[in-house]
Amino acid sequence: MSITKKFYGKTPDGTEVDMFTLSNSNGMTAKIMNYGATITSIIVPDKSGKFDDVVLGYDKLDDYIANKLYFGAIVGRHANRIEDARFIINSTEYNVTKNEGENHIHGGLIGFDKVVWKAEVSTRGQDECLNLCYYSSDGEEGYPGNLDVKVTYTLTDDNELKLDYFATTDKDTVVNLTNHSYFNLSGHASGNILKHEVMINANKFTVNDKNSIPTGEIESVFDTPMDFTKLIPVENGINSKYQQIEFAHGYDHNWILNKGKEKAAEAFDASSGRVMDVYTTEPGIQFYTGNFIYESKNCKDGANYARRSGLCFETQYFPNSLKHKHFPSPILRAGDEYKNSTIFKFSIK
Ligand code: BGC
């Protein structure tokens, strides 16, 4: 696996942004830039050997800067929603930016998706990997503590794109990092993902209110359209009258992953034969069907995206977990290390 680097553009304040291309011996490539530590392309073969880019994105840096959909980016400090944009740690209340009505989403107005990360290529065994680091200072977007964050991207010869997340803090804080890629295994410009089949290794999910905030209730997926314990087409349940799906206008929920080392999720596209398996150390996964991608014209390669053009598997701590003591805690204590990994593995069948 090798990595090349090329100048990509400049942010409005003149900071240079580079694009890194990770390539493996099978001809698979992944492009990642250090603005937002963003995955901008993943090119993999289909069952007839034809290569296609399977993630949504843009051609130009300016479009990523203006992008409100988090295409391919790392989101943090806290992925997804924090109710009322406030939480308590060690009896102190912290107020974070309200950037979705009264609530907070994906780290605020200038979250980790909207900053330039420091990039460095290193070697791990036989593979080169891309390390992206960001120093988030105490009080940024309202979060306590100075936080050192590192995300390492590695592409293996088994067609796995591996994301390793690390963070340390000097004051107790909250950390919940994820990647927000929108996948379309037929090719990023090929229309909607309704025919994709999905498996999520979860018997339970967290119930949302109408603002997509977990209420604290946990429900079984069985006998509901939330049951993805076996591969089923997304289109089967996405328009059902089930209240959770009506609230979100599709799938946009956190599934509680069954514990164990098996895969967390799978997406399969029969037309191309492409498969993506997801493995993670995280307790939850936000399966989101691009319900709010309103028409976006002139995106990557001139593509026009519309509602449901891509699906996301955002591995994570549960949204709103600071409010619900029975959810796994996303609090990182000073002196401890936040460490999580997620793998997106591509194959054909
Ligand atoms: C959220 C969606 C949101 C999307 C883009 C997902 O993680 O759950 O509700 O529209 O990100 O912000």
Task: Output the tens digit of pLDDT for each of the chain's 349 residues.
Answer: 899 999 999 999 999 999 999 999 999 999 999 999 999 999 999 999 999 999 999 999 999 999 999 999 999 999 999 999 999 999 999 999 999 999 999 999 999 999 999 999 999 887 899 999 999 999 999 999 999 999 999 999 999 999 999 999 999 999 999 999 999 999 999 999 999 999 999 999 999 999 999 999 999 999 999 999 999 999 999 999 999 999 999 999 999 999 877 899 999 999 999 999 999 999 999 999 999 998 888 999 999 999 999 999 999 999 999 999 999 999 999 999 999 999 999 999 9
Contact 307, 290 (CB under 8 A): yes
Residue of 104, 106, 209 best suited for mutating to test ligand 1, as the one with most atoms within 8 Å of CB = 106
Classify residue 228 by its DSSP letter. Answer: -
Domain count for the chain, please give it: 1
- Take atom 8 of ligand 1 and give the residue whose Cα is closest: 252
- Establish whether residue 113 lines the binding site of ligand 1, counting it when its CB lies within 6 angstroms of any ligand atom: no
- Establish whether residue 251 lines the binding site of ligand 1, counting it when its CB lies within 6 angstroms of any ligand atom: no
- Establish whether residue 212 lines the binding site of ligand 1, counting it when its CB lies within 6 angstroms of any ligand atom: yes
Give the number of other CB atoms < 10 A from CB of residue 11.
16
| Gap from CA of 69 to ligand 1 centroid (Å) | 8
**pLDDT for the residue 260:** 79
Residue of 179, 285, 288 best suited for mutating to test ligand 1, as the one with most atoms within 8 Å of CB = 288
∠ CA 67-160-238, rounded to 5°: 55
Q: What CATH number corresponds to the domain at position 9?
A: 2.70.98.10
CA–CA distance, 169 with 74 (Å, rounded to integer): 18
| Gap from CA of 124 to ligand 1 centroid (Å) | 33
| Gap from CA of 80 to ligand 1 centroid (Å) | 7
- Take atom 7 of ligand 1 and give the residue whose Cα is closest: 80
CA–CA distance, 332 with 175 (Å, rounded to integer): 6
**pLDDT for the residue 45:** 98
Cβ burial of 118 (10 Å; 0-12, 13-18, 19+) is: exposed
Q: Which residues are catalytically annotated?
A: 180, 314
pTM: 0.98
- Take atom 10 of ligand 1 and give the residue whose Cα is closest: 292
| Gap from CA of 335 to ligand 1 centroid (Å) | 31
Range of the domain at 83: 2-348
- Establish whether residue 80 lines the binding site of ligand 1, counting it when its CB lies within 6 angstroms of any ligand atom: yes
| Gap from CA of 142 to ligand 1 centroid (Å) | 20
**pLDDT for the residue 76:** 97
Name, in order, each residue with C-beta under 8 angstroms of 170's C-beta and a sequence gap of 6 or more: 138, 145, 146, 334
- Take atom 5 of ligand 1 and give the residue whose Cα is closest: 69
